[in-house]
Amino acid sequence: MTPDPHPGRAVTLAVLGLSSMTIMANATVASSLPGLRAHYADVPHIDTLAGLVVTLPSLAIVLSAGLMGVLIDRWDRQKLLLLTAALYCIGGTSGLWAESIWALLVGRLALGLGVAGTMNLGMTWASDLWQGPARARFLGRQGAAISVAGIVFMLLGGALASLHWRGAFAVYALILPIAALAWLVLGPQARAMAAGRERPQASRANTERFPWAAYAFIAPLAFLFQVAFYVTPTRLPFHLEALGTTSPLVVGALMAALVTVSAPVSLMYGRIRARFSAMVIFGCSFVLIGASFLAHALATDWQGVLLGSLIGGLGMGISMPNYTTWFMARVPASMRGRASGLLTTAFFLGQFASPLASAPLVAAFGLAGTFAAVGLGLVVLGLGLWALHVLRPEPAFAEA
């Protein structure tokens, strides 16, 4: 299928909506963690389990994202949309009704299955319907939509958590109207895509190869990015509590500050990418996020944490669109679902591993020391990527 150079507004909104729901998968309930921990205070190892409430969906995504990607390439996308949206809603809202921490964790696994489908669908549709520089511009808009959704969802989650720690889980029901729009407007696109696969794909099947070399580079980078980045929603609420800030609404607002900055930066991604190579952008994002962690480590009150969140938003805004733009430009059209699944696997494996990787650092150095150590590591990584660009320069926009 030849992509429509000007997808309609409803199609654009549907793809942006599916993408915007991914940020809710983990961080939306961060404001509920102190209340959840207090409610289940008699459960052994509740600190670690509370962190898993944030990141356990990532385990389900890691285990299922590859399969979801294959299904996107080979199965009816609209049926997959309905199935995964239902899992998203039921699993996401489980915090409203689950009595035990274990039932809540099972619900988080179901949420992860839903996110694996909706996120891969959004990523694949974006790669199918927009190409070259237009894709970079759209992915910048997509990043901005994710950031705006993050602001709304985190503030709403914080406000609801201030009423009751379970309240934040109600936000996941927002998948229902977004999935309904996507089901209505992407149906014709899905049928045309399926018809296109039946004809030319078979003749190309023996000549197209998956770009494993490109994946071998981008996957570890995506993994490390998420391991580091998800130290924020899993550890920052407790760091703020140690600094004397305990209001869930304030915690949610400080988390939302990060995505408040990232939204306008993401909107500018197309223009930034036209002037700088992907490696330069990767380097800048890691240095900025590392600097934000160092600001968290040095903070003595919530104002210092706010400064760190604002700096981190700059790095996040230019980073997320960069991964998809760089990788999808190297993937054959018939394999974009698989590529989306594999990239999603790398992202969410990092999210799941984050609290497990940071736990020894917290035990050894405390919360502030953990932010300092991770921040220094990110700055070093960013400088290394800049050095790689110097050794192997590429044009500002080398992708088609």
Write the pLDDT tens digit of every residue in 216-255: 999 999 999 989 888 887 788 888 888 888 777 777 777 7
**Please, is 63 exposed, middle or buried when counting C-beta atoms within 10 Å of its C-beta (0-12, 13-18, 19+)?**
middle
Q: Which two tokens stand for residue 80?
A: 């997959």
Rg of the chain over CA atoms, in angstroms? 20
Residue 220: the pLDDT is 94
Kindly report, residue by residue over 121-162, the tens digit of the pLDDT. 887 887 777 777 777 788 778 777 777 777 777 778 778 888
Residue 384: the pLDDT is 92
Alpha helices (H) along the chain: 9-20, 33-39, 46-74, 77-92, 101-129, 132-163, 175-185, 187-198, 200-204, 212-229, 231-242, 248-267, 269-275, 278-298, 302-328, 336-391
10-residue block means of pLDDT along the chain (400 residues)? 62 83 71 82 81 80 85 83 92 88 91 88 80 76 76 78 85 90 78 55 60 92 89 83 79 75 82 86 94 92 88 86 86 82 85 84 90 94 88 58
Residue 106: the pLDDT is 92
Domains, in order of start, for the chain: 9-197+224-391 (1.20.1250.20)
Nearest CA among 158, 150, 190 for reference residue 174: 150
- CA–CA separation, 383 and 400 (whole Å): 27
pTM greater than the 0.75 cutoff:
no
Residue 38: the pLDDT is 85
Q: Which two tokens stand for residue 58?
A: 């990532």
- CA–CA separation, 138 and 266 (whole Å): 10
